[in-house]
Amino acid sequence: MSKRARALFLGLFSPMILCLVAGGAIAEEATWNSLNMPEGVTEVSQAAYDIHMIMIWICTVIGVAVFGFMFYVMFAHRKSKGVTPANFHENLTVEILWTIVPALILIVMAVPATTALLKVYDTENPDIDIKVTGYQWKWQYEYIGEGVKFMSELRTPQDEIYGRAPKGEHYLREVTEPLVIPTNKKVRFLITGNDVIHSWWVPDFAVKRDAIPGLFTAAWAKTDQAGIYVGECTELCGKGHAFMPIVVEVKEEAEYDQWLAAKKEEAVIYQSTIGKEWTDAELMAKGESVYAISCAGCHQAKGEGIPGVFPGLVDSSIVTGPVEDHIGILINGVAGSAMQSFADQLSEVDIAAVIHYKRNSWGNEMGDTVQPIDILNYKQTQ
Amino acid sequence: MSTEGSYYVPEQSKLPLAAALGMGVMAFGAGSWVIEGGTSTVFLIGAVIMAMVMYKWWSIVIEENTQGIVSDQLKHSYVLGMYWFIFSELMFFVCFFGSLFYVRVLVGPWIGGEAAIGLFDDTATDAAIANATHLWNGYDATWPPLVTPDQAVNGDVAKFIGPQESMSFPGWSQILGWLPLWNTIVLISSSGTVHIAHHALKEGNRKKFNRWLGFTVLLGIIFLFLQAEEYIHAYQELGLTLESGIYGTTFFLLTGFHGAHVTLGTIMLLIAFLRGLKGHFNEADHFGFEAAAWYWHFVDVIWIGLFIIVYVLG
Amino acid sequence: MAHGPSESFFSRWLFSTNHKDIGTLYLWFSFAMFLLGGAFAMVIRAELFQPGMQLIEPEFFNQMTTMHGLVMVFGAIMPAFVGLANWMIPMMIGAPDMALPRMNNLSFWILPFAFAILVATLFMEGGGPNFGWTFYAPLSTTYAPDTVNYFIFGVHIMGASSIMGSINIIATVINMRAPGMTYMKMPLFVWTWVITAFLLVAVMPVLAGAVTMMLMDINFGTSFFDAAGGGDPVLFQHVFWFFGHPEVYIIILPAFGVVSQIIPTFSRKPLFGYSSMVYATASIAFLSFIVWAHHMFTVGMPIAGELYFMYATMLIAVPTGVKVFNWVTTMYKGALTFETPMLFSIAFVILFTFGGFTGMMLSIAAADTQYHDTYFVVAHFHYVMVAGAVFSGTAAVYYWLPKWCGRMYDETMGKVQFWIAFIAFNITFMPQHFLGLAGMPRRYADYGLQFADWNMVSSVGAFMYGGAQLLFLFNVIRTIGWGKPIDDPKVWEGAEGLEWTLPTPAPFHTFSTPPVLK
Ligand code: HEA
Ligand code: HEA
Ligand code: CUA
Ligand SMILES: [Cu+2]
């Protein structure tokens, strides 16, 4: 090696060595479990973990054999040792052997792989049915037959994401309202999407099913371990893909029943506020928070929009036009665009508040008031 | 492999670069054309470049051939090129036939809450039942779908409104008024006529060749005319449009791409016809015509597939 | 008949009908695209260096991921192997040139236009494609920026280029072999390329069909991918992967071919199991058509479909295993030396096999529920594509460059590059397995704190790996301009085959009259 090459070599290698050492240190600190697939808390996740481990071991054994032989060859049959090359290039026996043996190994693998898959697909006869709908970029959960339905959105503030505030412990793993399910009940998730394809993944349940607009996919979970489980959206769904986590809270059955009852009551109380006359201040406050959660993702914090992608809402002809049209666009969305219908996502109060807020912020001064009852009326005339 | 003499490697040529430029401009132009408010200018410029290049390119190839520098081996390269080009075209149609199969045999029943071809059992899956109860309540999966899932749920305000009538076999009583049948007859006979022309050429009967080839071109044009007629009928009387859900979608895309290929094939045959009139081609050497004829047979085969799958079993 | 290269620089490179010059154009183009795609990867890795959004917006991040995938697959790897095919196939089978030289130049020149269009979208209103290299509908249709139309037509002409290029290769191999060069005497690189070309002609039209359907859905109101009209977004995935899975073998088969040339040379021993290699390649190609939905294990297919695609996918281990075993046995009892091409080839065998193992794990549908769309998949495919295709491409350049330009590359620098690349590659992508298993989804612009450590390691590795590529570029340029001249036709002691009987550097025209093989 020339001197220069050596210097180059060292210069480039030292950071690598450092990196390896650092990597080693991290690995040391991390437990084996944090490197591997979680075993999870359901029968299905256990099955997935088991077959995963079987595969790892089979591959390791084959790998050790193949690479071991290869290293032996590289060591023993090098020209520098003065060997003369052999000249054979065929041997039917070994060729047949190394076709058949892997095939047999495959059959061995296929058996547990099949039983594990049967478990994944065992979605019949659930105790509870939950409809999960993916929206750009949040989840909606509906307890079928219970009249309970809510949205679940990322709660991490933009400031933490953009490094203007220190990141909290649960950075990107916290939502406005988690999905709640009971222990020891077979819960079936019926998963669909509202706009683009999302995918609902909770690693500890080994549930990952694509949320396809217009079609359902089904998955299930049953666990005896109460706790909080975090998951993610795993299908690219636009710019908020990384920002629509899933949090599932598994409660003991009794607690779950209480929670459900409270939820139902909430829905009843809510009905009574629709008819009430809201003040400007109340609407503005409510509207601001709704806007920040539901709209700012696209139309940006101050309604400035992103040119060419999301229209700005300052001076928009809709926002400064007749209230009717404005309500209409929120209720119906704009077909064929990212502007979805919010009729199912937001309550009448929320819609009224956010419209009111937009019409009276960022230099828009319409001065009119929009009440929840207007929204209800609009919906009914449709 | 016949290797008499050396293989002809052409001189440098400006044409490939010009063709690539034409294609690039066309692609860019098409992109800006379909965007709302776009115009076709750039696309057309590209198309003109492309047309000029193609004219020039083929003129050169023909000239090379008449000069006799084209060895049998090179001719065989052209033959192979044409075979594999047709194969790629076939795969393009496979893509659309496959899509039709998928939406028709699988997706329809899933949305409608029935069991899609149950390989092991014939009960509908959970997901399919949920589709029918929670998303597309009231949709009845039949083919051809005159009612779209959207329409089943949203009634008249649906985005996709199905057609009033389909293009399928109308029953024996009306068979004579069934346009696709006539189209089939036209196209199959054109395959026959081109075959006769081919034989005539091989026998060295140029008159006969010209006549039958001209006849084939005419049949091609009649086919296109009838197809245009059918489209007008579909749009104006049946309400069958590109927007009428998956039926219109698959119907127009399959027949439309086929029609586009017929157009191309007709042009190819027309050029061969004109060349024939000029006295090109001889008994042994008529690849330009042969390629067009193969292509024509290929288009014909696709039509038979279409006729059976889209119309008869439609 | 054209004689020497044209005097003028422009006419030589723009109007060429010479397979070697066109091959050179392909190779340089692909290298430029590799640097571009690599630069996009650097942006991705820089943003992922830490949790939080630091450098770019999520919207742009998605564009980077998409463009990185597209540019690497279609702009870097595929043209690189077409370039090698152009250079080597005529020389290997004793042909004067490609079968259709003018079309050959057209195939090449479409590419710069296609990629110019694609890259230009990054600067347009709405931005470049942001829906992943797999562009699933409806994110790529209803919800896509207007620029998607440029993307669609760009893919169309790029596909036309691939189809023409492949037809050319098929015609060359079928029609232009020297007398006596029977099929079962063709070098394995030629074999893998015909089969690849066949795959390309078969699936590129399907890709064209997929983008055409998108075009119709976006602009003409059809409902291929809209359940409201009776279509299905999943249809897109079936069509795409019917193309996409064969595509990944399109990427790897020529790489297999390259390695099958290099390993015997430096083992000084003929390739073990030549005919089983040919059959294995053909089986892989066949199987590649019937396994596509293993990319869709989470879309909720009926279980029968899921089981079928799982079993079919697992089968690919058999022919691929045959190849791996043949390579290893070729080395067995040889007289090995470890020049740079050999080092890259050996690393190829090891790392590709490793990536194949993770592929086998992915094929187990129940476990794929956990792996799918996580960094585990990202790690898998970079093992097979970077340590597979890119390593073998690098090996090929080191192996044939002396033949091409009659100058020897700097062996030390080559080895240094190899070791940096090898180590940095593993630092970059090994941790991604852990990230994936721990739950980090792919195409994420930002991630939770639990993934911070390994992401940082991976990013550092990626920068180093990028550095190795610059060294490669430098070494190649240095060789062409200032390398030590050589004139031994064989270049390598153990090299066998027609191409090594030609003078070094390879003359502008070769085999004007075909050589005769015994
Ligand atoms: C060069 C490209 C290449 C190659 C060669 C492969 C090879 C394989 N791939 Fe990979 N794959 C990709 C590129 C490639 N892949 C890409 C790009 C994606 C992601 C696309 C995207 O979503 O963006 C992907 C994704 C992907 C998935 C989907 C994952 C998911 O999204 O959830 C799956 C699932 O089955 C899979 C499987 C396989 C298998 C079984 C092989 C097999 O061919 C491997 C066979 C090899 C071996 C097994 C090793 C050698 C064999 C032996 C030593 C014999 C003995 C071994 C045994 C008996 C186990 N791949
Ligand atoms: C053959 C194809 C190929 C190749 C060679 C590569 C090469 C690399 N890829 Fe690749 N990658 C894909 C194909 C490929 N990739 C595909 C198909 C996807 C999926 C896309 C999708 O999800 O849609 C993907 C996705 C992907 C991701 C996941 C992104 C995400 O999910 O959001 C990441 C992240 O780390 C990544 C990293 C890298 C790196 C670091 C390299 C490195 O090997 C690159 C090294 C090369 C260079 C660095 C260039 C040389 C140097 C310079 C240009 C100078 C500048 C250098 C410095 C500043 C150091 N790639
Ligand atoms: Cu929702 Cu990704
Ligand atoms: Cu695949």
User: DSSP character for B115?
Assistant: P
Annotation says C260 is catalytic: yes
Write the DSSP assignment of A72-116 as a string of letters.
HHHHHSBGGGTPPP------HHHHHHHHHHHHHHHHHHHHHHHHH
Q: Which two tokens stand for residue B176?
A: 């004579």
pLDDT of residue C84: 97
Q: Which residues lie below 8 Å from residue B47, measured CB to CB, with a gap of 6+?
A: B22, B26
Q: How far apart are CA A155 and CA B9, in angstroms?
A: 68
pLDDT of residue A53: 94
Q: Does the pLDDT at position C1 exceed 50?
A: no
Domains of chain B with bracketed CATH: 11-70 (1.10.287.70), 72-314 (1.20.120.80)
Query: C3 falls in which pLDDT band (50, 70, 90)?
Result: low
**Beta strands at A198-202 and C484-485: parallel, antiparallel or unpaired:** unpaired
pLDDT (tens digit, 9 = 90+) per residue, B114-155? 766 555 556 777 888 888 888 888 888 888 888 889 888 888
> Given B111, B126, B130, which is nearest A124 (Cβ)?
B126
> Given B131, B149, B159, which is nearest A216 (Cβ)?
B131
Q: Which of A48-57, B109-118, C330-339 is least confident?
A: B109-118
β-strand partners of C15: none
Which chain A positions have a beta carbon within 8 Å of B111's beta carbon?
214-215
Q: How far apart are CA C91 and CA C82, in angstroms?
A: 14
Ligand 4 centroid distance, CA of C244 (Å): 7
Q: Which of C64, C354, C370 to mutate to test the interface with A (most CBs of A within 10 A)?
A: C370
Q: Which residues lie below 8 Å from residue A318, measured CB to CB, with a gap of 6+?
A: A325, A326, A329
Ligand 3 centroid distance, CA of A196 (Å): 8
Does C245 share its domain with C282?
yes
| Chains touching chain A, criterion 3+ CB pairs below 8 Å | B, C
Q: Do A190 and B126 touch (CB under 8 A)?
A: yes
Q: Which of A194-198, B137-141, C341-345, C385-389 is least confident?
A: B137-141
**Which of A10-19, A324-333, B237-246, C201-210 ranks highest by mean pLDDT?**
C201-210
pLDDT of residue B65: 81
Max distance between CA atoms of chain B, in angstroms, equals 74
Write the DSSP assignment of A225-284 as a string of letters.
--EEEEEEE-S--STTGGG--EEEEEE-HHHHHHHHHHHHHHHHHHHHHHSSPPPHHHHH
Q: Do B111 and A214 touch (CB under 8 A)?
A: yes
From the CA of C295, the nearest ligand is 1
Averaged pLDDT, C452-478: 94
Options C45, C295, C407, C433, the catalytic residue? C295
**Cα nearest neighbour of A188 on chain B:** B126
Q: Do A216 and B159 touch (CB under 8 A)?
A: no
Averaged pLDDT, C308-313: 96
Pocket of ligand 1 (CB under 6 A): A 59, 62, 66, 102, 105-106; C 134, 248, 251-252, 294-295, 297, 313, 316-317, 320-321, 324, 353, 356-357, 359-360, 362-363, 368, 371-373, 377, 380-381, 384-385, 388-389
Residue C239 forms contact with B (CB below 8 Å): yes
pLDDT of residue A29: 55
Task: Work out the percent of chain B whose per-residue pLDDT is above 90.
Answer: 50
Q: Which two tokens stand for residue B225?
A: 């005319």
Count the alpha carbons within 13 Å of C170 in the hemisphere toward its beta carbon.
Answer: 24
Q: Do A335 and B159 touch (CB under 8 A)?
A: yes
Q: Which of B35, B106, B125, B126 to mutate to test the interface with A (most CBs of A within 10 A)?
A: B126
Which chain B positions have a beta carbon within 8 Å of C95's beta carbon?
7
pLDDT of residue B1: 34
- pLDDT means per 10 residues in chain A (382 residues)? 49 54 57 76 94 94 95 91 84 92 94 94 91 93 89 89 90 93 94 94 95 93 94 94 95 94 84 78 86 83 81 83 85 78 82 88 80 81 71
Q: Do C229 and B108 touch (CB under 8 A)?
A: no
Q: Containing domain of residue C497, as a range? A: 238-442+449-508
Q: Which atom number of ligand 3 is nearest to the Cα of residue A137?
A: 1
For atom 1 of ligand 3, the residue with the nearest CA is: A198
Residue span(s) of chain A under CATH 2.60.40.420 come to 128-271
Averaged pLDDT, B45-56: 94
Q: Which atom number of ligand 3 is nearest to the Cα of residue A242?
A: 2
C72 CB near ligand 2 (under 6 Å): yes
Q: Do B110 and A217 touch (CB under 8 A)?
A: no
Does C213 share its domain with C256?
no
| Position C102 in a domain | yes
CATH number where C460 lies: 1.20.210.10
Residues in chain C, total = 518
For atom 31 of ligand 2, the residue with the nearest CA is: C443
Annotation says C162 is catalytic: yes
**Based on the structure, what is the number of domains in chain C?**
2
Averaged pLDDT, C312-328: 96
**Tokens 């058509």 -> residue:** C289
Does C173 share its domain with C144?
yes
Annotation says C320 is catalytic: yes
> Last residue of some domain: C226, C254, C284?
C226
Does C190 share its domain with C284?
no
Averaged pLDDT, B197-209: 89
Q: Which of A353-367, B295-309, C341-355 is least confident?
A: A353-367
pLDDT (tens digit, 9 = 90+) per residue, B66-106? 887 778 888 889 999 999 999 999 999 999 999 999 999 88
Query: C130 falls in which pLDDT band (50, 70, 90)?
Result: very high
| Position C304 in a domain | yes
pLDDT of residue C426: 95
Q: Which atom number of ligand 2 is nearest to the Cα of residue C36?
A: 53
Annotation says C446 is catalytic: no
Angle at C81 between CA C75 and CA C86, to 5 degrees: 115
Averaged pLDDT, B181-202: 92
Averaged pLDDT, C208-227: 94
pLDDT (tens digit, 9 = 90+) per residue, C395-417? 999 999 999 999 999 999 999 99
Q: How far apart are CA C154 and CA C164, in angstroms?
A: 16
| Position C198 in a domain | yes
Q: Which of C274, C325, C362, C440 to mutate to test the interface with A (most CBs of A within 10 A)?
A: C325
Annotation says C247 is catalytic: yes
Does C167 share its domain with C301?
no
pLDDT (tens digit, 9 = 90+) per residue, C140-161? 998 999 899 999 999 999 999 9
pLDDT of residue C388: 92
C459 CB near ligand 2 (under 6 Å): no
**Beta strands at A198-202 and A217-221: parallel, antiparallel or unpaired:** unpaired
Q: Do C99 and B77 touch (CB under 8 A)?
A: yes
Nearest CA to CA, how far is C387 from chain A (Å)?
A: 16
| Position C5 in a domain | no
Annotation says C140 is catalytic: no
Q: For residue C180, count other CB atoms closer than 10 A to its CB.
A: 13
Q: How far apart are CA C516 and CA C518, in angstroms?
A: 7
| Position C110 in a domain | yes
pLDDT of residue C10: 84
Nearest CA to CA, how far is B21 from chain C (Å)?
A: 7
Axis crossing angle, helix C375-384 with helix C340-363, rounded to the nearest 10: 140
Annotation says C249 is catalytic: yes
Q: Which of B287, A33, B159 is CA-nearest to residue C227?
A: B159
Does C267 share its domain with C201?
no
Please provide the average confidence, as pLDDT, over all residues in chain C. Answer: 93
Q: Which residues lie below 8 Å from residue A137, measured CB to CB, with a gap of 6+?
A: A153, A154, A233, A237, A238, A239, A240, A241, A243, A244, A297
Q: Do C460 and A162 touch (CB under 8 A)?
A: no
Options C323, C380, C382, C433, the catalytic residue? C323
Does C282 share its domain with C372?
yes
The better pLDDT of the pair B161, C376 is held by C376
Q: Which residues lie below 8 Å from residue A348, measured CB to CB, with a gap of 6+?
A: A274, A372, A373, A375, A376, A379
Does C200 share its domain with C279?
no
Does C354 share its domain with C469?
yes
| Position C74 in a domain | yes
Which chain A positions have a beta carbon within 8 Å of C423's beta carbon?
16, 20
pLDDT of residue B4: 42
Does C34 share its domain with C109?
yes
Q: Which atom number of ligand 3 is nearest to the Cα of residue A238?
A: 2
Q: How far apart are CA A213 and CA C347, in angstroms?
A: 44
Which chain C positions have a beta carbon within 8 Å of A214's beta carbon?
226-228, 232-233
pLDDT of residue A1: 42
> What CATH architecture applies to the domain A128-271?
Sandwich (2.60)
Ligand 3 centroid distance, CA of A338 (Å): 14
Annotation says C19 is catalytic: no
> Given B110, B126, B159, which is nearest A215 (Cβ)?
B110
> What CATH architecture applies to the domain A276-381?
Orthogonal Bundle (1.10)
Q: Which atom number of ligand 2 is nearest to the Cα of residue C77?
A: 1
Q: Which of C381, C503, C320, C390 is CA-nearest to residue C84?
A: C390
Q: Which of C363, B33, B84 is CA-nearest to residue A58?
A: C363
Q: Which of B83, A43, A356, B97 is CA-nearest to residue C238?
A: B97
Does C242 share its domain with C215?
no
Does C336 share its domain with C218?
no
| Position C2 in a domain | no
Query: C386 falls in which pLDDT band (50, 70, 90)?
Result: very high
pLDDT of residue B228: 94
Class of domain A36-120 as given by CATH: mainly alpha
Q: Does the pLDDT at position B257 exceed 60?
A: yes
A339 CB near ligand 3 (under 6 Å): no
Q: Judged by CB atoms within 8 Å, which residues 177-236 of B form the interface with C? A: none
Q: Judged by CB atoms within 8 Å, which residues 107-126 of A form the interface with B? A: 123-124
> Last residue of some domain: C201, C226, C251?
C226
Ligand 2 centroid distance, CA of C465 (Å): 10
| Position C342 in a domain | yes
Q: Which of A129, A215, A309, A382 to mutate to test the interface with B (most CBs of B within 10 A)?
A: A215
Q: How far apart are CA A263 and CA A259, in angstroms?
A: 6
